[in-house]
Each structure stands twice: as C-alpha cells, then as structure tokens.
Structure 1
Amino acid sequence: MDGLAAALALLAAVLFAVASAVQQRSAADVPDARGGRLVLALARSPRWWAGTLCDTAGFAAQAAALGLGSLLLVQPLLVTTLLVALPLGARWGGRRLRRADWVWAALLVLALAVFAVVGEPTAGVDRVGWRPWLPAWVGLGVLVGGCLAAAAVRRGTARAVLLAVAAGVAYGVGAALTKGVVSLIDDGLPVLLTSWETWLLAAAMGGGTLLQQSAYQSGALEASLPAVTVGEPVVAVALGVGVLGERLRADGVEWALVGVLVVVMAVATVALARTAARGAAPVPG
C-alpha cells in the first residue's frame, strides 16, 4: 500500500507542477484584476482551464494516495513538484535558472525524501471530532491573517511569497481533511455531503486556489511556488502528528538526523525564495 501511495503522490506532483506553470502564466496576463475580477478574467482563459484540469487530476491522485498512506508519507513527496515546475516556469518566462537554483531545489527534495525514509511514518486515524482541531485552526488562522495583512501593503515578490504561504497553509489543512473525507466515501453520498469535513475541505481548497492564483499574478513562479510546495506538506505533517495521531518511528541518532533534515529544508526554502527575489521580474500590480 505504501508503494502505491508513494507512486500516486509522485504522479500528483508532476500534475501539480504543470498546472502551476500554466496557471502562473495565465494569472500574470491579468495584472490589474483582483479577487472576483481575477477569477472572472481567468475563467475566460483556455490556458488557465487546461492548468485547472491538471490541478484537478493532481488532487485526485493526491486524494487516492492519502486514502492509502499517511500524511507523513504522501505530503513530503509532493515537494518534487519543484523539480518540474521551476524549470518549466523559467523556460516559459524566458528566464534561465542558475546552478544554485538546481542545487537548492535538489537539496530540498533530497532532505524531504530522506525524512520520509528515516522517520518511517506510521498512520494515525483518518478522522477526529471538531474539538481537537480547534487549537490548530486558531494558530493557522492567525498565521494566514498576518500573511494577508502584510500582503495587502506589499507588491511584487514580497506579496507573491506572503500569498503563497497563506495558500500553502490552506492546502495543508485541505490535505489533512482529505483523509477524513476519503474515508467517508464508502458510507454513501448523503453522509459525505452532510459531513463538516467535506464543506471545510471545499472552503480550504477554494480559498487556497484563489490565494495561489493571486500569488502567481503578483510575481514569478520561482517566488511563490517554493512557499506553496513546502508550506503544504509542513502544515499537513504538523496536523497529521498533532491532530490525527500519526507518528515517526525514528529513535536515537535518527532523531538527530531528522532535526538536521528539517534545518536543511528550512534553509533551502529561504534560499530559493531569495534567489527568486533577485532573479524574478515582478508582475505589475
């Protein structure tokens, strides 16, 4: 089951990468639109719909993977999106990625992959009641609110990164909720449609999509994609451990290695964001 879950997660990563590159180009073509106007403008773009189709297929593959494996296994693998989306976005945007970009992207992916192997993630529960979620909702709500407040007074790369962080949080919450929603499918459509997880998942994914499109509109793909790609698994893994009871089976020296890997992931993410800020041309907004 874990092998199939990993394969589906990698398929989802490729589909998300193509969708990200295509949707960023579409959003950058309407720099003056905001909120609902942005959605209406994008809805008239065949290219954006092609990206949305890839995005939907990616989510289906991700949901199937989460139905078979834990958040601690599936979500880190989605960071391989960077290996496809960054060079694709740079090529379409007429930019050249530097050697340092490749090195940091490779380190980020390697650290996440080793984290998944060394930690030997174990599954928790698919669903819990709404009360165990409350502390997480409060903390993540404060984080998203701070990002949105700061993004409202920024432009260019800074705005793109802030919106991307908020989108990553929304997608991370959505990933954690997906496990519960997938587990309800066998109970029938009425149960699925009356579950609070289903509607909260729809809100998280819808809000994440709007934030992601706004981030793509505000700056180059290299500025926003690392934050979304890394933010989603970080939030999802935290919720998997803190809310759904998933665990790592590391012990002794392995815990030290896990700590090092977390530091490497953080440094690589910051390096990618700084590289993007130096090399990406802001989209007027």
Structure 2
Amino acid sequence: MDGLAAALALLAAVLFAVASAVQQESAADVPQAQARGGRLLLALARSPRWWAGTLCDTAGFAAQAAALGLGSLLLVQPLLVTTLLVALPLGARWGGRRLRRSDWVWAALLVLALAVFAVVGEPTAGVDRAGWRPWLPALVLLGLLLGGCLAGAAVRRGAARSVLLAVAAGVAYGIGAALTKGVVSLLDDGLLALLTSWETWLLAVAMGGGTLLQQAAYQAGALEASLPAVTVGEPVVAVALGIAVLGERLRADGVEWALIGVLVVVMVAATVALARAAARDAAPVPA
C-alpha cells in the first residue's frame, strides 16, 4: 500500500507542477485593480490558460486524495515537494533557459533526503479521522496564524504581501490535506455520511480558501516570493496535524532521530532553493 501511495503522491506532484506554472502566468496578467477577493477569480475565470491549470490542479488533488487514502501524511506530504523537480525544468524549457549546476545539486539532495527519510523514519499511519475535540486546539492555533497573515497582507504590498498570502495558503492547504484522509474514509459510508460530516465542509472551505489565497499571492508579487512559502508550508502543517491530531508516528530510535533532524533541515533548504530557482525561471509579474 505504501508503494502505491508513494506513486500516487509523485503523480500528484507532476500535476501540481504543471498547474502551478500555468496558473501563475494567468494570475500575473490580472491588473492590480482587479486583484481583490472574488474579483480576482472572476478575472481568472475568463482565462482559458487558468482553466487548463485548474484542471491539472483538480487531477492532482484527486491523486493526492487517493494517496492519502492509502498512506500516512508523514509519507505522502513530503513527497509532494517533488513538484519542484518537475516545475523547475518545465519553467526553464518554456523560458528557453538552461538549469544551473546548483539546481541539479539541490534536486539530487532533495531526492536523496526524501528516500533516506522514508527508509529511516518508516512513517506509520495513525487514525483516518478524529473527533472535533482533538482538532479544536490545532484549528485555534492555525486560525490565529492565518488571521495574522491576512491582517499583515491587508496593509502590505509587493513581496511582503505575496509571502504573507502564500503562508496563509500553505496553512489552508495543510489543513485540507489532513482533513482529506477522513473525508476519503467516509466514501465507504455512502453519500449521506459524506455530506453530513463537518470534515467535508471544512475541507471545502480550506481548499477553496487556499486556492483564492494562492492566486492572490501569485498576483501580488514574483513567484520567487510566494512559491517557497506555499511549498514548504503545506507539508509542515499537514505533518504537524498528522502527528498531533491523527496519531501518526515515525519508527525511529536513538541516533536515527538525529539523522531525521538533519534530513528535515536538508529537505527544507533544498525545497526553498528549488522553489526560488523555479520562480527565477517563471514569467515575471508585471508592475
């Protein structure tokens, strides 16, 4: 099951990479005057390119949901950062540029760190669903973080606004990833159980809000500002919820924990470096 979950996670990463590249170009074309809230989505809805990206995004989410139905958040979410391994050469090819040697080094480090993490950590699945009591403290803390980011973004412009919106999008997507496990498990109980579950509706709010925030982040500044925050934020939040709420664990002992700590640092550093490189190769945002 873990092998199939990993394969589906990698498929989701490819689809998310294509969606990210296409949607960023569409969002960058929207004038500042039309970049607020629902007006941004209305402007994007008139772009065939944005709809193509949205189709890839939807397919990617379906693959991610299937992966989470089979494997743990600790396994699936770190694998999704391989989106950058696809987005980077894709952006370079579309832009007629060659990848730097440092990009290949960071890509190799990310792949190596992910592989060793999966072998050493041996992520174990927890429960698919948890009641509202275990969720409440986590949602309050994440809600405060989300609110702080939105308040800061409301009074900032340029790169600062883009980063704050991207962090908020990462939080929303991380919550959505953790909720997806429970919603997928409800499919066996029928449509009524699915539609009457609070998890289903909170998932819809988290993913819808995350999409709006991500598009706003793309529009507010260069992709170099927003992509690292979204790419790192989602797995960090999802893994934290997997451990704190769903009871997932790493099977490590003694010195293995030190190695896992090093691997996490390497994965974060490589992810940020590759995200910046992918943003460098993306189309610039008009002033």
Give the TM-score of the pair, scaled to structure 2: 0.91
Between 1:156-165 and 1:192-201, the stretch displaced more is 156-165
Q: What is the rounded CA distance, in whole Å, between the counterparts of 1:281 and 1:51 in structure 2?
A: 15
Between 1:27-36 and 1:194-203, the stretch displaced more is 27-36
**Offset at residue 84 of structure 1 (A):** 1.1
1:33 equivalent among 32, 35, 42:
35
Q: What is the rounded CA distance, in whole Å, between the counterparts of 1:187 and 1:86 in structure 2?
A: 41
Contact conserved, 2:172 with 2:209, CA < 8 A, in 1?
yes
**Offset at residue 136 of structure 1 (A):** 0.8
1:165-206 deviation digits (Å, cap 9, x = unpaired): 111111111010000000000111011000000000000000
Contact conserved, 2:231 with 2:271, CA < 8 A, in 1?
no
**Offset at residue 118 of structure 1 (A):** 1.3
Q: What is the rounded CA distance, in whole Å, between the counterparts of 1:30 and 1:94 in structure 2?
A: 24
Contact conserved, 2:35 with 2:216, CA < 8 A, in 1?
no
Decide whether aligned partners of structure 1 residues 70 and 280 sit closer, same or farther in structure 2, where only a CA change above 3 A counts.
closer
**Offset at residue 138 of structure 1 (A):** 1.5
Contact conserved, 1:155 with 1:218, CA < 8 A, in 2?
yes
Decide whether aligned partners of structure 1 residues 94 and 148 sit closer, same or farther in structure 2, where only a CA change above 3 A counts.
farther
**Offset at residue 62 of structure 1 (A):** 0.5
1:111 equivalent among 92, 105, 113:
113
Contact conserved, 1:13 with 1:79, CA < 8 A, in 2?
yes
Identity of aligned residues (%): 91
- SS of 1:283 mapped into structure 2: coil
Decide whether aligned partners of structure 1 residues 9 and 270 sit closer, same or farther in structure 2, where only a CA change above 3 A counts.
closer
Q: What is the rounded CA distance, in whole Å, between the counterparts of 2:240 and 2:153 in structure 1?
A: 24
Q: What is the rounded CA distance, in whole Å, between the counterparts of 1:237 and 1:121 in structure 2?
A: 11
1:194-222 deviation digits (Å, cap 9, x = unpaired): 00000000000000000111111123333
Between 1:265-274 and 1:46-55, the stretch displaced more is 265-274
Contact conserved, 1:222 with 1:272, CA < 8 A, in 2?
no
Q: What is the rounded CA distance, in whole Å, between the counterparts of 2:144 and 2:275 in structure 1?
A: 22
**Offset at residue 263 of structure 1 (A):** 2.0
**Offset at residue 105 of structure 1 (A):** 4.3
**Aligned residue for 1:20?**
20
**Offset at residue 141 of structure 1 (A):** 1.4
Decide whether aligned partners of structure 1 residues 107 and 161 sit closer, same or farther in structure 2, where only a CA change above 3 A counts.
farther
Q: What is the rounded CA distance, in whole Å, between the counterparts of 1:137 and 1:196 in structure 2?
A: 13
**Offset at residue 280 of structure 1 (A):** 7.8
Decide whether aligned partners of structure 1 residues 185 and 121 sit closer, same or farther in structure 2, where only a CA change above 3 A counts.
same
**Offset at residue 271 of structure 1 (A):** 4.4
Decide whether aligned partners of structure 1 residues 112 and 147 sit closer, same or farther in structure 2, where only a CA change above 3 A counts.
farther
Contact conserved, 2:95 with 2:281, CA < 8 A, in 1?
no
Between 1:226-235 and 1:275-284, the stretch displaced more is 275-284
Contact conserved, 1:215 with 1:224, CA < 8 A, in 2?
yes
Decide whether aligned partners of structure 1 residues 54 and 13 sit closer, same or farther in structure 2, where only a CA change above 3 A counts.
same
**Offset at residue 155 of structure 1 (A):** 2.8
- SS of 1:250 mapped into structure 2: coil
**1:143 is aligned to 2:149:** no
Give the TM-score of the pair, scaled to structure 1: 0.91
**Offset at residue 115 of structure 1 (A):** 1.9
